[in-house]
Chains A and B, each alone.
Chain A
């Protein structure tokens, strides 16, 4: 089992719809969770961090965390073509507190 798992996609969503990206993790002691967006050929940029169970909203983005189910998701409302990118989920590895583990990413495509 991978430490951080994401569906590789591509996930195709019509413009204006809600895109839902999911991530599961294996380390039950993990405390910090991050979503990064990476455009092709560019470096990852932070979208959101979340540390507590529940929802956290920032503009069109909502991160959801459920530690009991070891599940974190990212919702993108009113999807725009500029949201087309790969989204990386990252989780800290509690058993080795110095490392954050990245999933392999979900490729999102917003179709006009």
Chain B
């Protein structure tokens, strides 16, 4: 059963902590993405990766970091430098970068305490 999984579903962070959100896909897709969604807002691109060991900053990369050591995995770290991290985080993948359809995981809701 192919798809994208994200964990955890809910995450609570204290001030000054770094937290890591997991994203795994078994669709054999080359490209993966991280988005942030705030209430009533559209999706904003944080980072994307075209291929293993390569990733690029999106529109709102400050305070975030990623790695792409395996094709299936694209974890996102929300660092303490991100001043307003409370949001819904969505991971997506597509066969290739650019024009291909993106498929989304179920999301992680991060709340800062």
Q: Does B106 contact A42, Cβ atoms closer than 8 Å?
A: yes
Q: Does B58 contact A99, Cβ atoms closer than 8 Å?
A: yes
Tell me if B105 is interfacial: C-beta within 8 Å of chain A: yes
Q: Does B42 contact A97, Cβ atoms closer than 8 Å?
A: no
Tell me if B2 is interfacial: C-beta within 8 Å of chain A: no
Given known contacts A31-B99, A43-B90, A102 and B107 CB-to-CB distance under 8 angstroms = no
Q: Does B42 contact A99, Cβ atoms closer than 8 Å?
A: no
Q: Does B106 contact A100, Cβ atoms closer than 8 Å?
A: no
Given known contacts A99-B48, A104-B41, A43 and B104 CB-to-CB distance under 8 angstroms = yes
Could you say which of A14-22, A44-52, A57-65, A76-84 contacts chain B? Answer: A44-52
Pick the residue among B43, B48, B50, B101 that contacts A102 (CB under 8 A): B43
Given known contacts A43-B90, A92-B99, A97-B97, A103 and B106 CB-to-CB distance under 8 angstroms = no
Tell me if A1 is interfacial: C-beta within 8 Å of chain B: no
Q: Does A103 contact B42, Cβ atoms closer than 8 Å?
A: yes
Tell me if B65 is interfacial: C-beta within 8 Å of chain A: no
Q: Does A100 contact B102, Cβ atoms closer than 8 Å?
A: yes
Q: Does A46 contact B43, Cβ atoms closer than 8 Å?
A: no
Tell me if B56 is interfacial: C-beta within 8 Å of chain A: yes
CB contacts (< 8 Å) of A90 on chain B: these are 102
Map CB proximity to B onto A69-112 as digits: 1 under 8 Å, 0 otherwise: 00000000000000000001010100001111011110000000
Name the interface residues of B26-81: CB closer than 8 Å to any CB of A: 35, 40-43, 45, 48, 50, 56, 58
Tell me if A7 is interfacial: C-beta within 8 Å of chain B: no
Which residue of chain B has the shortest Cβ distance to A30 in the bound complex?
B99
CA distance A10 to B17 in the complex (A): 38
Tell me if A34 is interfacial: C-beta within 8 Å of chain B: yes
Pick the residue among B42, B45, B97 that contacts A105 (CB under 8 A): B42
CA distance A108 to B58 in the complex (A): 29
Q: Does A44 contact B98, Cβ atoms closer than 8 Å?
A: no
Q: Spell out B's residues near A (CB within 8 Å).
A: 35, 40-43, 45, 48, 50, 56, 58, 90, 97-107
Other than A43-B90, A46-B102, A49-B101, give 4 A-B pairs with Cβ distance below 8 A. A34-B101, A44-B43, A97-B97, A97-B99
